[in-house]
Amino acid sequence: MEDFATKNMLVYINHTEIKNNIKSLPYRKSPGADQITNQMLKKLPNKPITFLTNLTQTPNIVKFDNEPIGWKSSVKYSRVILDKILNWWPHISAKLQQAYQRLGVLFPILNRKSIISKKYTLNMYKQILRPLILYASPILDSCANTLHNDFKIPTIDEHINHIANRFFQSLKNSNGAAHYNLIVSPPKIRRLKRGRPHDRIK
C-alpha cells in the first residue's frame, strides 16, 4: 500500500523549491534539445518561475475508502475506453489492436490457402472479429454525425467526392486530357469490377 501511494501521490511544489533547484544546476553543462542553458535558467526573473510553479502544480489527491486513486490519461467504463476530454480515439486504437491480435491468431486458418470453407470462415469473422470492432459503434456513429453537423465539415467520403469532382472539372481545360480521352466517363455500373476514379463524379 505504501509503494502504491508513493508512486501515485502528487507532491505539492512551491516557488522556493523551484528556485533552489535552479540555483543548484551546474554552470558548464551543455544545453538539451531546447537549447536552454543553465545560465539562462539562473537569470530567470520571478514571474517565469511563478509560471513554472503553476505549470507543475497538481490537484489534490483523490481518495476512495482512504486509498489514493492514481491519475490516468484514460479510463475504461462499460467496456469503452475514454480519455479526459471524452475522445473516442483511445477506445478505437485499443480495439483495433485487439482485432489485429485476433486476426494474427486466426490467420493460419483464414488465409487464401486454407481448406476451411468460406461459410465457416465468414462465421468466424462474424463471431470473433466483427463484434470486437463494432462494439459501441452506434454511439461512435452518432457522435461522428453530430460533430460533422455542428462544425459543418464534410465526411471523408464527401470530401473525396468533392476533390474528385473538382479534379475532373479541371480536365476539361487540359489539352492532354482531351487527347487521351480522359474527359469521357465510362459506364458507372460495372458489376463485379473495381471502381474507377470517374465513379466519384456526381
Q: Where are the domains of the chain?
A: 15-68, 74-153
Does residue 77 register a pLDDT over 60?
yes
Q: Is the pLDDT of residue 99 over 80?
A: yes
**pLDDT tens-digit readout, 105-158:** 888 887 778 888 878 888 888 888 888 877 766 666 666 666 667 767 677 677
Per the model's pLDDT, the better-predicted residue between 28 and 197 turns out to be 28
Whether 129 contacts 122, CB under 8 Å: no
Q: Which of 117, 192, 197, 140 is nearest to 164 (CA)?
A: 197
| Per-residue confidence (pLDDT) for residue 187, from 0 to 100 | 61
Task: With beta carbons less than 8 A apart as the criterion, state whether 135 and 79 touch.
Answer: yes
**Three-class secondary structure of residue 14 per DSSP:** coil
Q: Which residue has the cell 472539372?
A: 169
Contact criterion met (CB below 8 Å) for 88 and 135: no
E strand residue ranges, 97-187 = none
Cell 481448406 appears where?
115
Give the burial class of 91: count Cβ atoms within 10 A of its Cβ; 0-12 exposed, 13-18 middle, 19 or more buried: buried
CA dihedral 195, 198, 199, 200 (to 10 degrees): 120
The per-residue pLDDT for range 9-43, each reduced to its tens digit, is: 445 566 677 778 777 877 777 766 666 777 777 77
Task: Report percent pLDDT > 70 for the chain.
Answer: 64
